[in-house]
Amino acid sequence: MPATAPSLETYTQERPRLRMLAYRLLGSFSDAEDVLQDAWLKWAAADSDGQAVRSPQALLTTIVTRLALDRLRARKRAATEYVGHWLPEPDLTPLPSPVGLTAPRRADDRGEHLSYAFLVVLERLTPEQRAAFLLRDVLDMDYAEIAPILRSTPAACRQLVHRARLKVGTEPATVSPVQARTIGHLTQEFVRAVDAADYDALIRLFTGDAVLLSDGGGKVIAALNTIHGPDAITRFTLGVSRKAGAGARVIPCLINGAPGAVVVRPGRTDIIGFTAQDDRLRAVYMIANPDKQTTLSALPGLLN
């Protein structure tokens, strides 16, 4: 294949794929957009230098991955300054009908969402482990392709992926249609129980080891620590609902491919995602930090 010069057209064609790669590496669309801006500058510089590029896709993947790694490392160093839990920014899309269908296919590299729970688990990894793991297990790249991107060796990259797999454990990368239908049903029951302030109905929805993680970023009241167990989760959820007051609107949606909800109240908006096990909720994610709600505009009727 003949080498080609970098171009705006090539970058534009690759941009949707690169955006999702950066988001998966960073768990933040705002950071992903910043990475893409920097990547464009590097790409344009290669064009102005008259360099021929044998594989534009490979070069752009390398540029974006390295830029994202720099941001991941900086975020890890600054993690102690963040107030409470740091949760990924959710990827919101309208809910298809009937509830439980998989999300519409996207113009990204694989056309599928990584589940929100999977993105949360990725936060356990070092930046290098996360990059190697995503490139190998999500993008299905060979170790010989990954090594130059990470400025490493295939053997070292293989070790990074092995350690990452141990930390990720059995958490599935995507939500199956069956699980999506289960989560969709439980989401509806959760919303009804909270709206009715029904303690008994709400507590029955959770597994015995269920957890709730809440991210307010110091800008909105949120739990600073993980909340464990059905009783504590129920009391916290009903407490948040009472403090927010009446007049809530609930907008069903998909959160990284699984049913969830956006709850809009005067002065507060919560994006609430779930994972399920054995027809019960095993995790609740409440994202209240306004900085992590940039994809709310994807939901029709939000401002109606």
Confidence at 110, pLDDT banded by 50, 70, 90: very low
Q: d(Cα 280, Cα 268) in Å, to the nearest integer? A: 27
Given a cut of 70, whether residue 243 has pLDDT beyond it is: yes
Whether 304 is covered by a domain: the verdict is: no
Q: Domain with 76 in it: what CATH number?
A: 1.10.1740.10
Task: Say if CB 87 and CB 213 are below 8 A apart.
Answer: yes
pTM for the model stands at: 0.88
Dihedrals φ, ψ of 228, to 5°? -110, 140
Measuring CA to CA, which residue among 128, 118, 110 is closest to residue 88? 118
Range with lowest mean pLDDT among 68-72, 110-114, 129-133, 204-208: 110-114
Q: What is the mean pLDDT of residues 37-47?
A: 87
Residue 108 has pLDDT above 90, yes or no: no
- Could you tell me the residue range of the domain that residue 138 belongs to? 116-172
Domain count across the chain: 3
303 domain-assigned: no
* Whole-number Å distance between alpha carbons of 260 and 287: 12
User: What pLDDT does 45 receive?
Assistant: 83
Same domain, 190 and 265: yes
Q: How many CA atoms lie within 13 A of 120 on its CB side?
A: 24
The answer on pLDDT for 99 being more than 50 is no
2 and 59 together in one domain: yes
Helices 8-26 + 56-78 axis angle, to 10: 30
| Average pLDDT taken over every residue of the chain | 89
The total of other beta-carbon atoms located within 10 Å of residue 237's CB is 24
The domain boundary, picked from 172, 187, 220, lies at 172
- 236 pLDDT higher than 70: yes
Reported as a pLDDT band with limits 50, 70 and 90, residue 214 is: very high
Domain presence at residue 202: yes
